[in-house]
Structure 1
């Protein structure tokens, strides 16, 4: 029981320290047109990559569904 409590305590402290380390950057605002253009360009590239990945997943799913499935075998004792 003590080992479990120690593991939980360590896990919680690791999560808390990670959250604290991330909070000091915060959200910044910039009026620099070059920075704004760079960020918008990165966002557009990410969106394009996500769309491409989603399209590839959709195409692979539809391709798999086009395969013919084997007909089920008739049950034993049934006549056709």
Structure 2
């Protein structure tokens, strides 16, 4: 019984500490024009990077399509 209660106590402690650590994170509002401009420029850079990655994934690579299978033909039997 002591082991179970100790495990429950440790689990609750871990959950409580995780909840406390996340309490200061979240969405905040700012009226500072410099911060707003910085966030907008980062968002635009991220969006353009994601779009360029989509474009490179959509274009098939010509190198990949050039693979050929080797034919494993048996050598001709020597004539006697």
Q: TM-score scaled to structure 2, two decimals?
A: 0.51
> Using the alignment, how far apart are the partners of 2:58 and 2:19 within structure 1?
36
Larger Rg: 2
Distance in 2 separating the partners of 1:68 and 1:40? 44
Aligned 1:48-63 pairs, distance under 5 A: 48-59=48-59, 62-63=60-61
- Structure ranking higher in helix proportion: 1
Residue 18 and residue 50 in structure 1: after superposition, are their counterparts in 2 closer, same or farther (change >3 A)?
farther
Structure 1 residue 26: deviation in Å?
Answer: 2.2
Q: Structure 1 residue runs of 4+, over 2 Å off?
A: 16-20, 62-70
Root-mean-square deviation (CA), in Å? 3.3
TM-score, length of structure 1 as denominator length: 0.51
Question: Aligned ranges for residues 1-80 of structure 1 at < 5 Å?
Answer: 13=14, 16=15, 17-59=17-59, 62-63=60-61
Aligned residues: 62
Q: Which runs of 5+ in 1 are unaligned?
A: 1-5, 71-80
